[in-house]
Amino acid sequence: MNKLVKIALIVIGLVAAALWFAMPNQDDPDAINSGAMNFMFVIMYALLAIAVVATIFFGLKKLLSTPGSLKKTLFALGGLAIVVAVSYGLSSDNAVVVDAMSQRGIETTESTVKNIGMGLNVFFILTVVAVVLMVFPGLKKMFVK
């Protein structure tokens, strides 16, 4: 199986290299409609689909075959849900922002502003958690010998 995958990757690489040299000039106004570029997009989408399917398949396989991993996954999803709920509570539906956006010609609602604030709060909270989880073990290892 490994040999077949290597052969398939070599063939895809050679086809992509041939398509690279068959691409039209950048000054060509009809370059986006070239067959070489379209076929390169087909190859890209096929490889992306294979990667997504393989990732989901092997991830679920490992999740269901390893004892205790399903419990850890549910705890992680619960923690993420708590972070999202806290972030939603901390975000504000600022009417001033809605007015400022409407003056610029961008129609928005208070719920959209609240959702954007929630997304930013989730990002900031998860960034702080990631930094703490990277720094704390290093500091602990440094001071406890």
pLDDT tens digit sequence for 57-77: 999 998 888 888 889 999 999
Q: What is the pTM of this model?
A: 0.61
pLDDT tens digits for range 27-49: 777 777 777 778 888 888 998 99
Secondary structure (3-state) at 1:
coil
Tokens (6 digits) for 5:
């995958």
Token look-up 């106004």 returns: 29
> For residue 22, is pLDDT > 90?
no
Full DSSP string of 13-38:
HHHHHHHHHTPPPTT-TTGGG-HHHH
